[in-house]
Structure formats: structure tokens, C-alpha cells
Structure 1
Amino acid sequence: MTQRRLLLRDMVRIRCVEEELADVYRDEQEMRTPVHFSIGQEATAVGVCAALRRVDVVYGGHRCHAQYLAKGGDLTAMVAELYGKQSGSAAGRGGSVHLTDRAAGFGASSAILGEMISVAVGAAWSFALRGESRVAATFFGDGASEEGVFHESLNFAALHRLPVVFVCENNQYSLSSPLPARQPPGTSISGRARAYGIPARRVDGNDVFAVSEAAQDAVRRCRRGDGPAFLELDTYRWREHVGPHWDYDVSGRPKSDVDSWVARCPIRRAAETLSASDPGITDELAAWTREFRAEVHEAVAAAKASPFPAVADLLAGTYES
């Protein structure tokens, strides 16, 4: 399978997984963890993770399902985690926003805004100190770029020329607050990165091929020992900030805006690009959709059949005085 087909296939898988989980979450009310879906943003995670090796490490924020799956995280463990089951990726203790899969190179995710930016920098520092040819990548939203840890981390990474790729998924909103209401006119997130001497590229985050190309350049820079790189990827979440529903007009996002971004669907755009030279792609899309919807149904069934963590083990892994 060609690399471009793989990129499209991975986006379709993530879309199918999240749409199915959104329906189950809404209809059955058995998953009680808060969920932040990436429906509409699949190209950012897929494009960046495709440029990474398995030994490289990814750190995400609260909207982390797509990154986890794109890096090769275990779907069955992810779904079990959403159900709070012992077989979950964090043994049922973390929920949707605290996924981890060390074997796949997905270090961790966290609901604390901007927290994983500094953790990724720490990982990159350890790679540099050990002389390892490994890269850390950290995903965060436009809102996290307003946190102090963002600036501290960029400054430290630039100073020590660390192999870390900063990936800002600029989906235009921090919860329900649009970017122009939070940041001064004439400024940009990538411009803030350049202020620290870090090369930054602003890319159409709904074009998976453009994202992949930019990510490959960023990762090559890190592996050469030239220091960090920054990607600002313009994209948009289709669903509500947290939860499975659409939120037309409720959150301050007008339906016309959502519709305009749905029309720029990253999956449809990639498929249309490929169809010119790959006329069989339409049939493949249908086959992949059936395959991945069946896959997530199996994962849901496995999660429901798994036990909850034992009460006696609730403090396992915690610090005790």
C-alpha cells in the first residue's frame, strides 16, 4: 500500500472509531469519563505520527484519541479505559484524557492544559543527554499556547537544541472562546515560536499530505541535532468541546462556521486528491469503513466483558507517605 493510501486509511480508522464511540457514549450512558473527540481533526495526528518512528515518543493533551491511535496505540485498551475497566491502557484509572501505550511510543496525555509540553521537552532532553536518535512530539491546542509552560518549554528547548517537535492543533477555539478574542491582532502562535529562534511553519491542518511533508522536515531537523521545530496546524473540531454532541450555536460557534469546516473534511479532501490517479480508492474507503466499524464494535464488546479494577487495588501506583 502506498504511503498516501496509508495516510488516508489511518484517518478513516480514527473517524470510524470516534464516531462509533460518540454514538455509544450518547446512547448507552455506560462510559462516564469526559470525552474530547477529534472528529474533523484527523489529518493533524495522522500526518505528524507518520513521520515518527516507533521509538519516538508522543505526548498529548485532553483531545488525544487520534494521536494515540495514529502512533499505534492499542484500540482495545483505549476503549476499555473509556469504560473504566482494568484492561484499560491506564488500568481504568485515567479515562479518556489519560491514555498511555509505551510499547507504541505514546508516552502520556493529560487534561491539564499545556502540561505535556514540558514533559515532552524533558523526554527530548533525556534523548539528547544519552545521545539517542529519538524525537519527542507534543500535541496541544491554541489555548495552551497562552499558558506560561508553553513559553518556558520553548525557551528551554531552543536553548539546549532539543529534539522536540511542538505541534499546535489550532482549531480556532479554546472551549468556546475564539482566537481573536484571546490574542492581540497582528500576532500569531507560530510567530511566538519564532521569537525563541525556533523555525515554525503554519500549515493547512486539514491537508494530511501537507502536514506529513511538514512533519517529515521537522523530524529530520531534530534527528540532525539542529534543535526543535514548531508546527501550527489550522484545523477544526466538529463536535462539542467535551462530549459526543454537535453544539451548533450553543457554544458560540455558528452553524455556518461548522458547516464551512465540514466542507473541508480532511478525509474527503485526501480521497479526492488520490482519486485522480487511484480510481479504486472509493471502493477502498467503503471497505475500510466496514472493517473499522466492526473493529470498534469488537473493542466495545471486549471492554464490557472486562472487570472493573478491584477496590483493594485502588491505591496501586499512587504515592504513599
Structure 2
Amino acid sequence: MSETLNRESLLKAYRIMRTIREFEERVHADFATGEIPGFVHLYAGEEASATGVCMHLSGADYIASTHRGHGHCIAKGVDPVGMMAEIWGKATGTCKGKGGSMHIADLSVGMLGANGIVGGGGPLICGTALAAKIRGTQDVGVCFFGDGASNQGTIFEAMNLAAVWKLPAIFVAENNGYAEATSSKYSVPCENIADRAPAFGMPGVIVDGFDFFAVHKAAGEAIRRAREGGGPTLLEVKLSRYYGHFEGDQQTYRAPGEVQKLRETKDCLLQFRRRVTADGEITNEQLDAIDREVKTLIDDSVVRAKADPKPAPADLLTDVYVSY
């Protein structure tokens, strides 16, 4: 167990992962009613990745997300109540109901936003990392992207630029095995996405995305290296999502029982619980209490979101352009 993870840190990590899971499970259930507008792409099953990475970050560090961004938002510190209102399209949402699921952002905590453009976060992170380098801070930028985005030119260009300029950037490839419905075994010619790292002159690290501790350790080393001026790292986190590419995806491309087997044998929350309770430092009762508190938080956020007002017609042209 990492020395940086004391009892308080472990409880915090579990709370973040449980909040992501409960948030996503509730959105999954409510989306089926037809009340939530727009598209939804759920992060359930991948909680250890966002949490393991973002536990090392401060509010001054920036992350760029993907269309599957709820987990990254929560791990970076975006308020789940505001997020739920945003997903319901309400004026009280994080982006005043104008972003929805795929475009949640909160610059106040360093969350540049979920992104409907596949691979769109790479250039954004190069910008924040360059700003940190010019200012002489030790801040870093983290770009989360999927195995589908690993084939996008924007990601290649961003990694190349980060390596040439030795930027404090970390590229986190969350390889859940499917780019929408296409297996990464078909769309990626090399065995691992991280195998591409040497072409850009940066370390490539592969980690088990079901193991929070493995992600936390690998991310910590990459982030420390970036803060110390060592340049970028490509971190490939191998994991799996529990739901479809989007809500409504029938997942006919997955084997029968595939997801159920993952939930029973590899689930990151179950693995975490078994490990931290094994030595008695943390009890199941403590974790159960967090489960209840998180469920209450998410239930309350839905009640509030349903009752909150929608944006008014007069709001249509606000927040369209930046005011300097």
C-alpha cells in the first residue's frame, strides 16, 4: 500500500469512487424514464482510473475529459449536485443547463470540460501545461482519452508537442476495450496503446485499471516527474465500462455475461474494499456508512434537480462569448 495513502486518504478515495458509481447508476436508471435530455455516456466500472489519477492533483492543476466525463468531474472536485442539475438541463447546473452530460465544465476546480470531440482534450492540456511552464509553477495538465481517441491526429500532435517542449503533461489512455462498438484489438495495430510512447520520446506505462492502488502509484510517478521538469508520460489504464457506449446501446458486440463476470470478479470498489479491510485499519462498517451518505447525497441531488427551474428564453444568448 502506498505510503502516501493514510487512513484519511483511503476513506477519501473510497468516497470518490462510490460517489461516481452511485451517480452513474442513478443517471442510468433515470435516463430510462425519458426525463433526462440529450445523450449520456456512463463511466461506471472505470472509477479507479479517475480517482487514482486525480488524488494527486490540486485545484491549480487542469484536466481535460471525454464524452464519458462524469467520473473525471467528480474525481477533480466538481459538485455532484450541480452536475446532476446540469444533466437534467436546469439553470442551477454547473454550466447553467447549457452543457448537459457531454459538456460539463468547472474551471474553478481545474476541470476544462467533458468533450464531444474525440481526442479534443490533448491540445487543451498542452495549453495549460505550457502556461504552467512559462509561469514557472509546478502545475500539470492531464488529458484523459479513450482507445478510440488514441488513433486521432490531435492526440498524436499533442503528445509530440508535449515531448518537444517537455511540457508537464500526462496523457491517460483509458482503454476500455471498445471504441464505441469496435474492439481496440481490431483498431489498434500494436498490442498496447502505451507501446506508442517511445515514438514520442516519452515513457509508456501500462496499469491495471481495476486496481486503484496500481493506478495511484503509476499516476503519482508520472505526475511527480512532470512537476520536476521531466516532461510528459503516456499512461495506459486497462479497464472496462459496465454500460454501453451510450445509454440505449444494446452492446451486441460484447460476449454474453461479460459485464456480469467483470462486476463479480474485477470490480474496483470490491477490490478496494477487500484490500483496505484486510488489515483491520478500515472496517466494513466505515465503508458502509460512506455508502449510505453517498446514496443520500445522490438521491437529494435528483430531487433538487427535478424541482429546479429550466433556463429561461432570455438566457439563450448569455455565456456565448468570453468577456475580457
Bin the TM-score by the shorter chain.
over 0.9
Task: Give the whole-Å Cα distance in 2 for the aligned partners of 1:6 and 1:278.
Answer: 17
The 5 A counterparts of 1:48-67 are: 48-67=53-72
Question: Which runs of no fewer than 5 residues in structure 2 stay unpaired?
Answer: 1-6
Deviations 1:181-229 (A, max 9, x none): 1122x44210112210111110001100110011111110111011111
The 5 A counterparts of 1:9-88 are: 9-27=15-33, 29-88=34-93
Q: Which of 126, 129, 145 is 1:124 aligned to?
A: 129
User: Does structure 2 retain, via aligned residues, the 8 Å contact 1:74–1:101?
Assistant: no
Question: Which runs of no fewer than 5 residues in structure 1 stay unpaired?
Answer: none
Task: Give the whole-Å Cα distance in 1 for the aligned partners of 2:9 and 2:320.
Answer: 42
Q: Percent identity among equivalent residues? A: 35
Matched AA of 2:99:
G
Task: Give the whole-Å Cα distance in 2 for the aligned partners of 1:6 and 1:65.
Answer: 18
Q: How many residues are matched?
A: 315
Match of 1:106, SS state, is: coil
Does residue 97 of structure 1 match 2:102?
yes
Kindly state the Cα deviation for residue 271 of structure 1 after the two structures are TM-superposed: 0.8
Kindly state the Cα deviation for residue 168 of structure 1 after the two structures are TM-superposed: 0.7
The 5 A counterparts of 1:258-297 are: 258-262=259-263, 263-278=265-280, 280-297=282-299
In angstroms, what is the RMSD of aligned CA positions? Answer: 1.6
Query: Structure 1 residues 301-310 or 142-151, which shifts more?
Result: 301-310
Query: Structure 1 residues 128-137 or 153-162, which shifts more?
Result: 128-137
Kindly state the Cα deviation for residue 106 of structure 1 after the two structures are TM-superposed: 1.1
User: Does structure 2 retain, via aligned residues, the 8 Å contact 1:33–1:83?
Assistant: no
Q: Which of 310, 313, 317 is 1:311 aligned to?
A: 313
TM value normalised by structure 1: 0.94
Match of 2:148, SS state, is: helix
Query: Structure 1 residues 30-39 or 153-162, which shifts more?
Result: 30-39
Q: Which of 196, 203, 206 is 1:202 aligned to?
A: 206
TM superposition outliers: structure 1 runs of 4+ over 4 Å: none
User: Does structure 2 retain, via aligned residues, the 8 Å contact 1:51–1:219?
Assistant: yes
Task: Give the whole-Å Cα distance in 1 for the aligned partners of 2:52 and 2:295.
Answer: 22
TM value normalised by structure 2: 0.93
Q: Which of 191, 198, 213 is 2:195 aligned to?
A: 191
Match of 1:255, SS state, is: coil
Match of 1:108, SS state, is: coil
Matched AA of 1:5:
L
Match of 1:126, SS state, is: helix
Q: Which of 97, 100, 118 is 1:113 aligned to?
A: 118
Task: Give the whole-Å Cα distance in 2 for the aligned partners of 1:264 and 1:187.
Answer: 21
Q: Which of 193, 217, 221 is 1:217 aligned to?
A: 221
Does residue 254 of structure 1 match 2:255?
yes
Does residue 150 of structure 1 match 2:155?
yes
Matched AA of 1:241:
H
Match of 2:234, SS state, is: strand
Does residue 160 of structure 1 match 2:165?
yes
User: Does structure 1 retain, via aligned residues, the 8 Å contact 2:185–2:191?
Assistant: no
Q: Which of 218, 240, 259 is 1:236 aligned to?
A: 240
Relative to structure 1, the CA distance from residue 166 to residue 312 in structure 2 (aligned partners, 3 Å threshold; closer, same or farther) is same
Task: Give the whole-Å Cα distance in 2 for the aligned partners of 1:132 and 1:9.
Answer: 30
Match of 1:2, SS state, is: helix
Matched AA of 1:46:
T
Kindly state the Cα deviation for residue 279 of structure 1 after the two structures are TM-superposed: 6.5
Kindly state the Cα deviation for residue 285 of structure 1 after the two structures are TM-superposed: 2.5
Deviations 1:6-28 (A, max 9, x none): 2222211211121122112213x
Matched AA of 1:61:
T
User: Does structure 1 retain, via aligned residues, the 8 Å contact 2:125–2:169?
Assistant: yes
Deviations 1:226-259 (A, max 9, x none): 111111000000111111x684xx4311123323
Kindly state the Cα deviation for residue 125 of structure 1 after the two structures are TM-superposed: 1.0
Deviations 1:88-140 (A, max 9, x none): 11111110011111222212121110001111111111111121221111111
User: Does structure 1 retain, via aligned residues, the 8 Å contact 2:212–2:268?
Assistant: yes
